[in-house]
Structure 1
Amino acid sequence: MTVDRILPSDEAYELLALTREIAGRELAPQAAGFEARGEFPREVLRTVGRAGLLGLPYPEADGGGGQPYEVYLQVLEVLAGAWLAIAEGVSVHTLACYPVAAHGTERQRKMLPDMLGGETLGAYCLSEPQGGSDAAALATRAVADGDDWVVNGTKAWITHGGRAGFYTIFCRTGGPGSRGISCLFADADTPGILPQHPERMMGLRSSAPAQIVFDDARIRGDRLVGGEGAGFRIAMEALDAGRLGIAACAVGLAQAAVDYAAAYARERQQFGRPVAQFQGVAFLLADMATQVAAARAITLAAARRKDAGRPYSIEAAQAKLFATDTAMKVTTDAVQVLGGYGFVSDHPVERWFREAKVLQIVEGTNQIQRLVISRSL
């Protein structure tokens, strides 16, 4: 189903049409094969980048697409409906570029055209093996040595780990707690940055994250973003935007599951008629479609707040929570609509079901989102 959309400009309609073309021609036909092989789709992401989709929400003067977040998220939704790993990769790259784009010095910002140009990927290094949700307790440390920083520690669950061209790194430069955290960014070929073997994943197998070990990695002092002690604030700002990206990915995945389940139910015959004509299935599909529409609405409402320059942290948490829970429920129901066929890899719903689970975990677990929301009440 093509979702009816109201976009702010003719350019946005053209961009979404281009995205659908790329999704249909380049992404959907290849997704199942890459996922089955667990093969990283570097050339596919390069195609997406050359189409201008890796820097959409950043200013054109910096090499970005100059699009509002409301448009960018709908692009992510279309990509996710064809291949979630690609959409998640675009979202993570956008997240990794945020610190320099929002807080970089004039000299640092001159690097943005290369970061946003589509030929390189960024990785966002915040989580650690012992401190996923408790980001303020991170242990990776950077020590000043002359004009440089020497970084030691381990980051975990890093999307594009070992594949990225640059790493945005949150590390401790001061005492305990959030005020001791700073942000650095480094080229991937920096000596002492050591990607480990990719994780073996239940879903998103073509974009498996990896640990990144920092072993006396020497990073130039002019790669410090926002000043010492500003890292935690920058990380949380970036995550607000990143949560909207994951919410849009969830909407796209869920919409694909609704479309596939509805098409199957119209064709599958039982007791002499399509199963879509049975109320038990029809009402299930109606609820699925309604939940996806609600998830899209709450996500785009949060995006419009961001575009207007209004506070949106709570709305981003609500969107991420609701959209990813919806994706989990809708993909579960899609498997049920297909019955036994929903459990086999001949149909994509079992893959979507597995992929939906990770969306409830990344960019802050949904328990963390509930904590953020409840504290605001």
Structure 2
Amino acid sequence: MASVVRMLPTPEAHDLIDLTYELADKELAMKVDEFEGRGEFPREIIRTLGRSGLLGLPYPAEYGGAEQPYEVYLQVLEILASRWAAVAEAISVHTLACYPVAHHGTPEQRQRWLPEMLGGELLGAYCLSEPAGGSDAANLSTRAVKDRDRYFVNGTKAWITHAGVADFYNVFARTGGPGPKGISCLLAPSDTAGLHVQARERTMGLKSSPVAQVSFDDAAVPEDRLVGQEGEGFRIAMGALDSGRLGIAACAVGLAQGALDYATAYAKDRTQFGQAIIDFQAVAFMLADADTQISAARALMLHAARLRDHGHPYSIEAAKAKLFASDMAMKVTTDMVQVLGGAGYVADHPVERYFREAKVLQIVEGTNQIQRLVIGRSLAKD
């Protein structure tokens, strides 16, 4: 990725990108095959990245964050994803999990929890989806009933990244009537009695990233762990997802870039009929199309990020970026497997892993069908 030209806003951002490349090469690229092969979550690597300042990039410095604009944070994610997508996804999910406290918590809640969250000592999870409903979050069924100074939570959440390794769980539960206005947000520590992590899902890709259902059986959460007011949970969840979709777009761009870089190097080295296969037009055009699509996705992602950084509405642009970038990553990784031919189908080469990992990016943080629905509705309103 050294050939990617980056227009960064400050000298500090340039230093941060240089640090990210260094960490990506030394901490991630050398270890990804080992951890993915074992299906082991790299908790110490995440902690190291946190201590290097990469887990609190878009958050305020007063709480231990780096106070970087989103356009810089997303490029950090992109670089990490080009080496190890599960690590970039872990940071994106953790950043999402910090959003409720950072943007809707009281000053006391921020002071109490954010420093360890942003420093990497506490890892977060985000519990919104349920077994009977992922896209239809407004009708979730997990319920929290207040009794004196505690909320008792009952229900099951599904597809929870970091299940079993997280230190805290953002739990969106119904405290009122039906619909979005009856949902609240609770911050449950991992040792909450009645919080049970179920068997880990056997996923197609991102093998080092644990995903499982989390069930709540009269799980008692203290009332001081209510984030925002009762009934504000759905608004908090949707605000977090707007930012989270940009994180997934960055993961998609980085993953596709990693696949292109590897396939290009392979095509320069692999010879057939007396010449490097990159000199065959059929191969060169596939690489050219991939390079162009990656650049387009990156530009769309950064445009949405800059809107966010300047305080402009960016929800629809985030949906566009997530939609385009994740569809692009699926297409590019499919083509990069084809460039390698039979070699692309075996695990000896990382394009096979990139291909499997790309698929989930079309699903998480709102399926791409939902993104199209969101974008289409915005056009109808206009």
For normalisation by structure 1, the TM-score amounts to 0.99
Corresponding residue for 2:334? 332
1:291 paired residue among 290, 293, 298? 293
CA offset at residue 127 of structure 1? 0.5
Opposite residue 372 of structure 1, the aligned amino acid is: V
Task: Give the Cα–Cα distance (whole angstroms) in 2 for the partners of residues 374 and 32 of structure 1.
Answer: 40
Corresponding residue for 2:30? 29
Corresponding residue for 1:13? 14
Equivalent runs, 1:1-377 vs 2, <5 Å: 1-2=1-2, 3-110=4-111, 111-377=113-379
User: Residues 202-244 of structure 1, C-alpha deviation per residue, up to 9 Å, x if partnerless?
Assistant: 0001002111111111111111111011000110000000000
SS of the residue aligned with 1:286?
helix
Task: Give the Cα–Cα distance (whole angstroms) in 2 for the partners of residues 126 and 263 of structure 1.
Answer: 41
Any stretches of 5+ residues in structure 1 without a counterpart?
Answer: none
Q: Which segment drifts farther, 109-118 or 325-334?
A: 109-118
Task: Give the Cα–Cα distance (whole angstroms) in 2 for the partners of residues 55 and 287 of structure 1.
Answer: 35
User: Residues 257-316 of structure 1, C-alpha deviation per residue, up to 9 Å, x if partnerless?
Assistant: 111111111111000000100100011100000000000000000000000000000000
Task: Give the Cα–Cα distance (whole angstroms) in 2 for the partners of residues 44 and 327 of structure 1.
Answer: 25
Any stretches of 5+ residues in structure 2 without a counterpart?
Answer: none
CA offset at residue 32 of structure 1? 1.4
CA offset at residue 253 of structure 1? 0.2
Opposite residue 93 of structure 1, the aligned amino acid is: H
CA offset at residue 36 of structure 1? 1.5
Q: Which segment drifts farther, 110-119 or 86-95?
A: 110-119
Query: Which stretches of structure 1, 4 residues or more, deviate above 3 A after TM superposition?
Result: none
User: Residues 41-89 of structure 1, C-alpha deviation per residue, up to 9 Å, x if partnerless?
Assistant: 1111111111111111001011111100000000000000010000000
Identical aligned residues as a percent? 70
Opposite residue 14 of structure 1, the aligned amino acid is: D
Task: Give the Cα–Cα distance (whole angstroms) in 2 for the partners of residues 259 and 123 of structure 1.
Answer: 32
Partners of 2:164 and 2:210 within 8 A in 1: no
Task: Give the Cα–Cα distance (whole angstroms) in 2 for the partners of residues 114 and 286 of structure 1.
Answer: 44
How big is the alpha-carbon RMSD for the aligned residues of Structure 1 and Structure 2? 0.7
SS of the residue aligned with 1:39?
coil
CA offset at residue 120 of structure 1? 1.5
Task: Give the Cα–Cα distance (whole angstroms) in 1 for the partners of residues 296 and 335 of structure 2.
Answer: 17
Task: Give the Cα–Cα distance (whole angstroms) in 2 for the partners of residues 7 and 227 of structure 1.
Answer: 38
Task: Give the Cα–Cα distance (whole angstroms) in 2 for the partners of residues 221 and 369 of structure 1.
Answer: 34
For normalisation by structure 2, the TM-score amounts to 0.98
Task: Give the Cα–Cα distance (whole angstroms) in 2 for the partners of residues 165 and 18 of structure 1.
Answer: 27
Task: Give the Cα–Cα distance (whole angstroms) in 1 for the partners of residues 27 and 218 of structure 2.
Answer: 41
CA offset at residue 185 of structure 1? 0.4
Task: Give the Cα–Cα distance (whole angstroms) in 1 for the partners of residues 233 and 7 of structure 2.
Answer: 37
Task: Give the Cα–Cα distance (whole angstroms) in 2 for the partners of residues 179 and 102 of structure 1.
Answer: 19
Opposite residue 148 of structure 1, the aligned amino acid is: R
Opposite residue 308 of structure 2, the aligned amino acid is: K
Task: Give the Cα–Cα distance (whole angstroms) in 1 for the partners of residues 47 and 126 of structure 2.
Answer: 19
Task: Give the Cα–Cα distance (whole angstroms) in 1 for the partners of residues 135 and 333 of structure 2.
Answer: 26
Task: Give the Cα–Cα distance (whole angstroms) in 2 for the partners of residues 163 and 215 of structure 1.
Answer: 19
